């Protein structure tokens, strides 16, 4: 079963002896800080956990699979996550 944001907040509240409101503020602040750095195209490196970074995709031409018609795919920016050694070791 996937863990959602409320599950994460509950885990933070329990582990850090915080109220749910305080844990919500903490989790939201972490997400906002990561989002802000990525918007500025900065890398977010959390040693032992992993690295968040942006990657640019060039514009290109693709095909609509239903009609076979060519279509333009606009350039975009995506977010990449590369797990760190600590996280890899924890899940293996």
User: Fold for domain 43-92?
Assistant: HU Protein; Chain A (4.10.520)
Orientation angle between helical segments 20-39 and 5-15, nearest 10 degrees: 120
The pLDDT tens digits of the residues spanning 12-33 come to 999 999 999 999 999 999 999 9
Counting every residue written for the chain, the total comes to 92
pLDDT digits (tens, 9 = 90+) for 62-87: 999 999 999 999 999 999 999 999 99
Neighbours of 29 (CB within 10 A): 10
- pLDDT given at position 70: 94
């Amino acid at each position: 079963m996937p863990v959602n944001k409320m599950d994460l907040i509950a885990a933070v509240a329990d582990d850090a002896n915080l109220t749910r409101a305080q844990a919500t503020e903490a989790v939201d602040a972490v997400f906002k800080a990561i989002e802000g750095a990525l918007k500025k195209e900065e890398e977010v490196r959390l040693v032992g956990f992993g690295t968040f970074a942006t990657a640019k995709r060039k514009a290109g031409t693709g095909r609509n699979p239903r009609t076979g018609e060519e279509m333009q795919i606009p350039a975009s920016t995506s977010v990449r996550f590369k797990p760190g050694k600590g996280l890899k070791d924890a899940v293996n």
